[in-house]
Amino acid sequence: MRGPHNIWRLIRTGATFIRTGAMHQALEAMDTPPRLRAVAYAISAPFAWLGYKGDPELPPVTRAITALGPAYIKFGQVLSTRPDVVGDELADQLRVLQDKLPPFDTGIAKRMIEEELGAPADRLFMEFSEPVAAASIAQVHSARRADTGEKVAVKVLRPGIERAFRRDLDAFHFAAGMIERLSPASRRLRPTEVVKHFESVVLGELDLRLEASAASQFGANTKDDAGFLVPQPAWNFSAKRVMVLDWAEGLPLGDREALIAAGHNVNLIGERVLQLFLSHALRDGYFHADMHHGNLKVAANGDILAYDFGIMGQIDEYTRRVYAEILMGFIQRDYRRVAEVHFEAGYVPADRDVDDFALALRAVGEPIFGMDAEHISMARLLAYLFEVTERFGMQTQTQLILLQRTMVVVEGVARSLNPTINMWEVARPVVEKYIRENLGPRAALNDLRRTVQVLGRFGPELPELLKAAIRRQTEEPPAPVEPKGWRYAALVAGGVALLLIGVLLGELI
């Protein structure tokens, strides 16, 4: 119910932002219209005393968000992937949100396990620890299964979290609608769209079966990736509010000194993290979109372990090919080709000049190639690229924004392990392999075979479709333009021809 009762919640939110000193920074970062800023201050300032104080050790915006509770923390995390909305500086601040909250009682967690799995936790697990991690939506316990003795991670949703999130989501929707009504200029910030995006992410995370499914899919995609492991769910021990995964034992990726002391090659690990991310994004179109230090470990044998699959990114095959061609064009410093790819993909309006766009892209790429290896950054290049394409009228590509944001995180991880890493040299073999397999003659044949397979499903209907098209043509009077019936018949005939080609290809390949 997005009614006036939400006003009190919004006043409390604004009061907290005022009290923590976060209001100015947040409004400035999002380039909020002056009228909307005035309204925000007018409503919130008189009630500043009602705001939460938060942790004074944290930066202002992070301090305000953590003080407001789990829904706001998760909202901040999601916004950290949208620098197009909040700006780069605030996105960086939000990215380091510490999702550490006081844990809830282990007894409550055990009761929830019994409710969800239909058996007491003490019967299902021979060991069950106190919480080892507590986040905004759930907490994690280590346990040992009674049936197999296997050590597992048990993730349990916070009690009442669904209701709390729905209440705050209601307030977020109400606020977005008010903002758009009070300030039409603010619509360029797309507040309603941003809240809908957040809602889709959160509702997925509130059903742990979906996260288990993400882990399962990610694991299937990456099972042949040497030196990379994804803990898999125990489906018969997982439900909406409880998820059980293989235990991921290893050193935190953020502890460089401990990794070196354990004998690991941190330079190689840094390169591997970057190559794995690019491989997942390009090869599979399905990547871990929250691949920071806290979600990665290194096993004793050097394998990289990933976990926490609440935020995953997806890119369709066509977008992957466009992205790979753009990256390869920059690697080869072929700015004309990069420009042509943007036009061919429809990212830049056709009425713009391709040569002017190529010159603008050269201004993006050349300064980066003039940098020392340790300063070369694909994430920085993509950020500059989006600035230029925006000037040329490119519509925001949400899936590429998430990809670019994750690239920033992954680069940060790689550089923390190897400060002198050359991003281009590390990325080049992954991009070249993808292009070789997906943009060459073999890829064209595979595309044709898939097209034939689709047309093949309509094979039994083709004779009747052809008869109907010819019949309509003989019954209709001649038209001054190309006859619709013959055009349709030509399409059907083309389908038949493709089927024959497909048969031949099947014999040859």
For the segment 270-324, what is each residue's pLDDT rounded down to a tens digit?
Answer: 999 999 999 999 899 999 988 888 789 999 999 999 988 988 888 888 888 888 8
* Pairing of β 304-306 and β 296-298: antiparallel
**Three-state SS annotation for 328-361:** HHHHCCCHHHHHHHHHHCCCCCCCCCHHHHHHHH
Which is the catalytic residue, given 84, 225, 246, 290? 290
Give helix 354-369 / helix 378-391 axis angle, nearest 10°: 160
What is the predicted pLDDT for the residue at 367? Answer: 77
Of 30-44, 226-240, 375-389, 483-497, which one has max mean pLDDT? 226-240
| Phi-psi map region of 430: left, alpha, beta (phi>0 left; psi -120 to 50 alpha) | alpha
- Planar angle of CA 342, 347, 351, nearest 5 degrees: 85
Q: CB within 8 A of 88, min separation 6: which ones?
A: 383
Average pLDDT, integer, range 34-43: 73
Let me know if 353 is a catalytic residue: no
pTM of the model: 0.72
DSSP string of 24-44, one letter each residue: HHHHHHTT--HHHHHHHHHHH
pLDDT band of residue 53 (cuts 50, 70, 90) is confident
Ordered domains of the chain (ranges, CATH): 6-99+163-200 (no CATH), 105-157+207-247 (3.30.200.20), 249-439 (no CATH), 442-508 (no CATH)
Q: Which long-range contacts (CB under 8 A, 24 or more apart) does 414-418 make?
A: 414/270, 414/271, 414/273, 414/274, 415/270, 415/374, 416/254, 416/256, 416/270, 416/293, 417/253, 417/256, 417/259, 417/266, 417/267, 417/269, 417/270, 417/273, 418/266, 418/267, 418/270, 418/271
**Can you tell me the distance from the alpha carbon of 493 to that of 485, in angstroms, rounded to the nearest whole number?**
12
